[in-house]
Every structure is written in structure tokens, then in C-alpha cells.
Amino acid sequence: MSRNLLKVENLTMQFGGVVAVDNLSLEINEGEIVALIGPNGAGKTTAFNAITGVYEPTNGRVSFDGSVIVCNHPQGKMERTYKGELADLYKSERILNPTPDKITALGMARTFQNIRLWKSQTVFHNVLIAKHMLAKSNVFTATFRLNRREEEEQRREAMELLRLVGLDDVRDELATNLPYGRQRRLEIARALATKPKLLLLDEPAAGMNPQETIELADFVHEIREKMGLTVFMIEHHMDMVMKISDRIYVLDFGKLIAQGIPSEVQSNQRVIDAYLGVTEDA
């Protein structure tokens, strides 16, 4: 049986009086490709942001690779205005809200809904800069070039990544000059440069045509196999989701309404209603 890599328990994210994610619990096992789907505004990206340290969740706990990395409970004014569930569940536990860079260093990398490349840098340097977070050098070793061997290794690994994602032929191009689909690949390559155990993809096929989406689905499956990755993705392209996902979770208005293998989710009436709307008799 596969080892559990990510465990989200009772995650709630409240903004003022709006509960964007409401008591979300899910698990992802090592080696899986798992999708989080739902209509626009369902809370998918908010959940990603709370898991990866971009947001401080209002309540809940996130465990990664066997250790708790995020934990919080309603505090201060929020304790009085909290609209979610299980407000007292984690009060006895230590609050943990690490910054995104610390979570990335643990082995969890992500891409964003809107591409966030260093557009004034070359393709090669976008990947190389990302690798610097793993560097063991300090001011002293960098000043006296004692880290030369490490630099050479990072450059070699950056080129290997570019070959893997099919961008080695444009290594010296500015990131901003790449077509949209290749910018998406570059963003994934930059995330892979941090050597993650878990890769989170936030709508990787957004803005792509059907052919590009098919190619991306094959690419995600390929890097999972070649790099031994676990993948957690948000995606609206259902053809891609159904093609490569091992399991699927479905959010609607911040709440989990369904989960299971693709065939189960595809035939779930609550999922169909959430996407297509429910017609009520007059």
C-alpha cells in the first residue's frame, strides 16, 4: 500500500464573514495524481494557498511526509465571528504557519493560476535561480569561489530539466518570448528544480487549446513516472482530469461534495448538478 504523503484535516479559510474553504479533509498517497475540481469560486486555489503557506488558514491541520506543517485555530476577533466547523478542535495544539519558502524546502512545490516567471531572465536562468534555494554555499564560500563544484552541478541539473521538459533548444531565450504553452512548461520545470516530492499544479492547462492540453496531460504523466513524483492539481479541463487522475476531489462553495476514482466522480449527480446547475420546478 502506498505511503500517505499529504493529509489535510478540517481545513477552513474564512475571510471576514465569507467561508471560502469549509472543513476540507483529503489525503494524497505517494505516487498518485490527484485532482481537485469544482466550479469557479469553489475555493480550490484558496485551499492550495492555505496548504502551501500563502494564506494562514483559519482552522485545520496539514501534514506532509509524516509531519504536521500547518496548524491553526480561530483566534482573537475571528474566534467570535467564526462561521466554520470544529472551532475548538486544534486549540490544544501548537500553531504552525510556515512561510511558502520553508514549505518548498520540505519538498512541496507549486505553480500558479497566473504564470509567475521571471520574464526578464532567460529560460535557463529561470530554472537555475530556482535551484539556488537548495544551495549549501554561504557568503564566505561564494566570495572565494569555494562553491564552484556546487554551481557546476546546479547548472548541469538545470540543463537536464530543460531537456526533460523539451525546452533545451530555447535555453537562451527570454522567458517572456516563449509561446504560452511553453511558458507553462517552464513554470513546471522551475518548480521541479526544487526537487519536490509533491508537485501542486494550479490550472496548468488554463489558456491552452485542445492539442496543447493533450500534450500537457501526457507530459504530467511522463514526469510523474520519470521523477517518481506525486501530483496534486486543480484543473477545469475535464478531459485532462479524467485521463490522468488516479482520484478526484470535488469542491462546491468551499465544501467537499464528492471524491473517488474518475468514473465514480463523473457519474455523481451532485457533481453534475454543481457544474451544470440544478433546475428547480416552479
Tell me the average pLDDT across 235-263: 96
> Which amino acid makes up residue 229?
L
Confidence at 150, pLDDT banded by 50, 70, 90: confident
Query: What pLDDT is stored for residue 131 in this prediction?
Result: 87
- Residue 120: exposure state from Cβ atoms within 10 A (0-12, 13-18, ≥19): exposed
Q: 52: pLDDT confidence band, cut at 50, 70 and 90? A: very high
- Return the closest-CA partner of residue 172 out of 159, 161, 187: 159
Q: Residue 61 pairs with which residues in a beta bridge?
A: 9, 71
**What sections of 107-164 are H helices per DSSP?**
123-131, 139-143, 148-164
Report the alpha-carbon distance of residue 52 to residue 111 in Å, rounded.
Answer: 11
pLDDT at 140: 47
- What are 250's three cell numbers? 470535488
Take residue 52 and report the three cell numbers written for it. 502551501
pLDDT digits (tens, 9 = 90+) for 30-44: 999 999 999 999 999
Smallest CA-to-CA distance from 43 within 256, 259, 262, 264 is with 256
List of domains in the chain: 1-107+196-282 (3.40.50.300), 114-194 (no CATH)
Mean pLDDT of 246-255: 97
What does the pLDDT read at residue 144? 46
Per-position b or e across 200-232, b if 16+ CB within 10 A of its CB = bbbbbbbebeeebbbbbbebbeebbeeeebbbb
